[in-house]
Amino acid sequence: MSRAKYFPLIFITKIWYFLRETFIRHEFPSIQRDFFKRNRVYIITGILLFIIALFYRSWENLTQPGLYVEDAFYFNRYYGGNQPFSMVWNKLFGYLTLIVDVYAWLVSKVDIRIQPGLYLLFAIIIGITNAVNLNFSGLFKSRLILLVAPLVLGLTGMNHIFYYNTLVYQFYTTVLLSLCLLFYPAPRTKSGLAGMSILFCILPWSGPYSVLAIPVGVLLLLFFRDRKKGFLIVIMIISTLFYYGTVHSNTTMLGNIFDGRVISYYYEVLFKEIFFLGYLGDPTITKAGIFLFCLMLLFYLQRKDKICIKLSLVFLVLTVGALAPYFLSLKVNYNKCGAAYMLISYFFWLVFLLYNLDKFLLRNSLKYVKVLFVLLFLVLVAVDNYPRQRKKVVVNEGIAAFVDAIHHYEQLDLKGNNIFIKLQFNDAYANFKPRVIIGSRKRDAMQVGADYFKFPYGRKFIINPTTQPDKG
């Protein structure tokens, strides 16, 4: 009876003790000097297994440039290679996407026939880097996790990215890379610190999702003490704030916070697609209650590992908060919450699960238990990639012939004859179609069609004057 009387006081004391312990600043986790030497085989094997599985699953998508979605827009925008560099500063969507724009501007200077391939190559490199980079961060120490993490993060966490290998999606994946780098220890050398500082200055200019670096950076500064690490975090936060000073205010709708329809949709996406991984159906109060209980139980079991608790909280904040840029934008009114908008949330939810499993495996000596949990993750990867293939898209097989046709007409003296021709790839995804004008751009120039040429090359791509009489 007496214990029940003091229960509220005991409970409040426990909560206070937990919060006090949580906000005591610890040293940021470092990487032991022999970590890579001891785990080299597992790290390399995990990466190779992922790359082999990726190319086996997505060979067509990885070997045939598609110019999907807005890639067609960037291709059209910078075609010819004569645009001034100042074009990369245009906010066509209300915000800058500097890394994508600068890369597209540079690629426009080379042979037209290899440009789609360079778009694809950049996308593959950034995508694979994101899938494997946390193996080098020191977050994962269990060898089994080092072995399976690239498969889980790459083939489930980034499922749709490796079907849509597009340049435009890199303003999500470069932000994802910058967020991953926040969990790396500060480099020990001055040159490494300088290189990381440059990256932390540049990466926030990838796109609007870089705003996530601010709450993550602030939490890391609150939770950990490390002068070099703090210096890098402050650089990223300042760079992100400067970036956000360039974003048009009308692209953000803070009033959505009070919109019941938006809140309901946010709850549905967060639980159904992120926490439940898209497999447990619509969220209900019962399902949400069970999930929250399991989450609290997990934190209770990890209570003695303060660093684990803190990093888990940061991963959880990222998981929940990474949906905010979409739900607080105009897009929520006319665009369904697609895979691209969920990428960062989904990725860091899997990081949260892998990180906590890593801690569990390090403490548990029963080998069969370790293997069982790892197998559960591999089953998730297998199920997510084989039967459903929910992110797979049709390959645009004709892009190579299209750019060959462009190159053919570029070799003709159309400008000297004061004529021009329009070519368009008509099988591209949705409303985004690669479309170029080749030849003279003078006011009195005449558009010609397939009949102008004795042997028209790539006839199916030519837009005839009768169907498109204007000069565009």
Tens digit of each residue's pLDDT (9 = 90 or more) over 308-348: 999 999 999 999 999 998 898 888 777 788 888 899 999 99
Q: Which residues contact 142 (CB under 8 A, 6 or more apart)?
A: 357, 358, 361, 362, 370
Closest among 325, 223, 339 to 273, alpha carbons compared: 339
C-alpha 208/C-alpha 196 separation (Å) is 21
**Residue 353 contacts residue 280 (beta carbons within 8 Å):** no
Per the CB < 8 A criterion, the answer to whether 186 and 284 are in contact is no
Sign of torsion over alpha carbons 94, 100, 103, 108: negative
d(CA 402, CA 405): 5
Query: How far apart are the C-alpha atoms of 267 and 368, rounded to whole Å?
Result: 37
> What pLDDT, in 10s, does the model give residues 243-272?
988 888 777 787 888 888 889 999 999 999
Residue 4 confidence (pLDDT): 59
According to the model, what pLDDT value does residue 371 have? Answer: 80
**380 pLDDT exceeds 50?**
yes
The pLDDT of residue 66 is 84
Q: Which of 432, 420, 408 is nearest to 471 (CA)?
A: 420
Residues 235, 129 contacting (CB under 8 angstroms)? no
Question: Is 20's pLDDT higher than 70?
Answer: no
What is the rounded CA–CA span in Å between residue 317 and residue 219? 9
Per domain, the residue ranges of the chain are 399-463
Q: Model confidence over 48-98: pLDDT tens digits?
A: 999 999 998 888 888 888 888 889 989 999 998 889 999 999 887 788 899
pLDDT surpasses 60 at 360: yes
- pLDDT single digits (tens) 139-169: 999 989 999 999 999 988 887 778 778 888 8
